[in-house]
Amino acid sequence: TTYDNNDNNDSSRGQPSGAKDSSSSSSWIDRYLPVCLRPYAQLMRLDKPIGSYLLGWPGHWSIALAAGPGQLPDPWLTTLFATGAVMMRGAGCTINDLWDRDIDKQIERTRHR
């Protein structure tokens, strides 16, 4: 495997040559969501779920600990916390884009947000 160390393109640094940049490949948002919902899903970064996982983990862990011995956690509460984690993460991404819009215009990776 050869690596491309082209200093003019930071997105390819450290990737095997010929590897596609993750921003150029289409995500599940582009493949499955209706066109009218795509901008909102991209704004919420739904194609990058790690933030929602990290936000939801403490809540789900607490729900699991609160369940009685030998019982499964409450599905309604688990669903509520999962939805809240996704919505709050999306709100955080949105407000960050609003606050950083002048800076984002100057950065190649965030120019089109």
Q: How many CB atoms lie within 10 A of CB 64?
A: 13
In this prediction the pTM is 0.68
Can you read off the two tokens belonging to residue 23? Answer: 């921003």
The rounded mean pLDDT for the chain is 82
Q: Which structure tokens are listed for 28?
A: 């599940």
- Other C-beta atoms within 10 Å of 90: how many? 18
Average pLDDT over residues 58-67: 96
What pLDDT sits at residue 19?
44
Residues constituting the chain = 113
Distance CA 95, CA 43 (A): 10
Q: Token match 């100057």: residue?
A: 106
The better pLDDT of the pair 42, 8 is held by 42
